[in-house]
């Protein structure tokens, strides 16, 4: 997604300063202060700058990006899949990262999407405080609205830092799958899961 410098900032520098002061107060309350570690001198400002950039689409309430579509023609009724798309997001509960790969498939009706469209919609939906399950649903619904397919399937496989860095500190992958439209039928569902199995054993990146 192209980055507009004006869209990566809050409405005014006053808001940035207010946010940085609030975060600095939180760090001080936790005794995470520069007098104990000089590398913490600008941590509050750096974190606010990062959040402002990463969450820019959500902060600015930007509309979902337009994606290119075209007449499906012979693709109508065919299985179209794009896999191993890397994504990064932030847990809405703890503001810790989760990241992994997405596999997206759809069956075009009258319209098909450009090959970059699913990645574009995924990137937009991920750049907000998010839940993995909701992210999968958001992407599926965005594809439905973009090209009105016969069905869409989304599988996200991710590492969740809120699981690995807190609580039980358990390592592992979390998988979230959404099946809509024709993918709720056995024929298309099986084709999607067979596709996922092939992707899992494919050594190519």
Note whether 48 and 90 are same-domain residues. Answer: no
pLDDT confidence of residue 11: 54
The tokens describing 205, both together, are: 């990146």
pLDDT confidence of residue 8: 46
In-domain check, residue 181: yes
In-domain check, residue 64: no
The tokens describing 193, both together, are: 């899961």
Consecutive H or E run containing 49: helix 43-54
Note whether 78 and 100 are same-domain residues. Answer: yes
Note whether 29 and 106 are same-domain residues. Answer: no
pLDDT confidence of residue 203: 62
How far is 154 from 177, CA to CA, in rounded Å? 6
- CATH number of the structural domain spanning residue 76: 3.30.1130.10
In-domain check, residue 27: yes
Q: What is the residue range of 36's domain?
A: 5-59
CB-CB contact of 10 with 50 (8 Å):
no
Domain boundary among 15, 38, 59: 59
pLDDT along the chain (205 residues), means of 10: 49 84 98 97 96 95 96 97 97 98 98 97 98 98 98 98 91 96 98 96 67
The tokens describing 45, both together, are: 């400002």
Short-list 155, 105, 153, CA closest to 132: 155
CB-CB contact of 167 with 179 (8 Å):
no
Note whether 95 and 156 are same-domain residues. Answer: yes
pLDDT confidence of residue 7: 47
Predicted TM-score (pTM) of the model is 0.90
Note whether 98 and 183 are same-domain residues. Answer: yes
Total count of domains within the chain = 2
């Amino acid at each position: 997604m192209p980055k507009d410098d004006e869209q990566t900032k809050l409405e005014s520098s006053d808001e940035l300063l207010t946010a940085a002061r609030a975060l600095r107060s939180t760090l001080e309350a936790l005794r995470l202060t520069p007098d104990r570690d000089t590398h913490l001198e600008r941590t509050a400002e750096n974190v606010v700058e990062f959040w402002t950039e990463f969450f820019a689409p959500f902060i600015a309430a930007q509309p979902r990006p337009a994606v290119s579509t075209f007449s499906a023609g012979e693709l109508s009724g065919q299985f179209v899949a794009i896999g191993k798309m890397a994504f990064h997001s932030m847990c809405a509960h703890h503001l810790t990262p989760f990241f992994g790969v997405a596999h997206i498939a759809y069956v075009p009706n009258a319209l098909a999407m450009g090959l970059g469209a699913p990645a574009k919609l995924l990137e937009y939906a991920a750049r907000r405080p998010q839940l993995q399950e909701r992210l999968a649903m958001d992407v599926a619904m965005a594809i439905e609205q973009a090209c009105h397919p016969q069905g869409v399937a989304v599988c996200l496989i991710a590492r969740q830092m809120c699981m690995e860095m807190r609580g039980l500190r358990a390592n592992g992958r979390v998988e979230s799958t959404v099946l809509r439209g024709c993918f709720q039928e056995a024929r298309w569902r099986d084709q999607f899961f067979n596709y996922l199995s092939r992707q899992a054993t494919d050594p190519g990146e």
